[in-house]
């Protein structure tokens, strides 16, 4: 069982940066791949980035590639999403999710979810 808590969201202007954190409980967190997803009002939840349980491999949505960086610190049971050069279209609720072993870009394949943190980017 893994419990996830996101933090770090906020209201920023376009071009600014934010770093989101996903804090996990559970001694086996290092066995879980983690993904970040976001959901804008009236839209479906979409994949943003994911990282393997070891942190050796990452993958990103094309819309954030080159601007966002996912990383993890298994000693601290945390996963981070560094977001640079934010755009208004990055606005939404950001969720972290976990699943055993391999990461996935599909939300339905994740077993555990946090409650989300709001990111609002003004133009």
Minimal CA–CA distance to 100: which of 85, 108, 88, 111?
111
What's the pLDDT score for residue 47?
98
Residue 13 has pLDDT above 80, yes or no: yes
Can you read off the two tokens belonging to residue 87?
A: 């755009």
Residue 39 has pLDDT above 90, yes or no: yes
30 or 112, which is more confident? 112
Minimal CA–CA distance to 119: which of 83, 84, 85, 94?
94
Q: What pLDDT band is residue 29 in, cutting at 50, 70 and 90?
A: confident
Tell how far CA 5 is from the center of its chain.
11
| Angle (nearest 5°) at CA 82 between 78 and 83 | 145
Per-residue pLDDT tens for 53-102? 999 999 999 999 999 999 999 999 999 999 999 999 999 999 999 999 79
Q: What pLDDT band is residue 30 in, cutting at 50, 70 and 90?
A: confident
Q: How much is the mean pLDDT over the chain?
A: 96
Instruction: Judge contact between 11 and 69, C-beta under 8 A.
Output: no
């Amino acid at each position: 069982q893994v419990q996830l808590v996101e933090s770090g969201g906020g209201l920023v202007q376009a071009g600014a940066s934010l770093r989101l954190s996903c804090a996990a409980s559970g001694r086996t967190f290092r066995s879980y791949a983690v993904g970040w997803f976001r959901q804008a009002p009236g839209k479906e939840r979409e994949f943003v980035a994911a990282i393997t349980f070891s942190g050796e491999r990452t993958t990103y949505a094309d819309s954030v590639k080159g601007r966002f960086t996912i990383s993890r610190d298994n000693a601290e049971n945390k996963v981070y999403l560094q977001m640079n050069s934010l755009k208004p279209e990055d606005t939404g609720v950001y969720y972290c999710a976990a699943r055993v072993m391999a990461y996935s870009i599909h939300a339905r394949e994740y077993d555990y979810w946090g409650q989300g943190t709001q990111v609002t980017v003004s133009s």
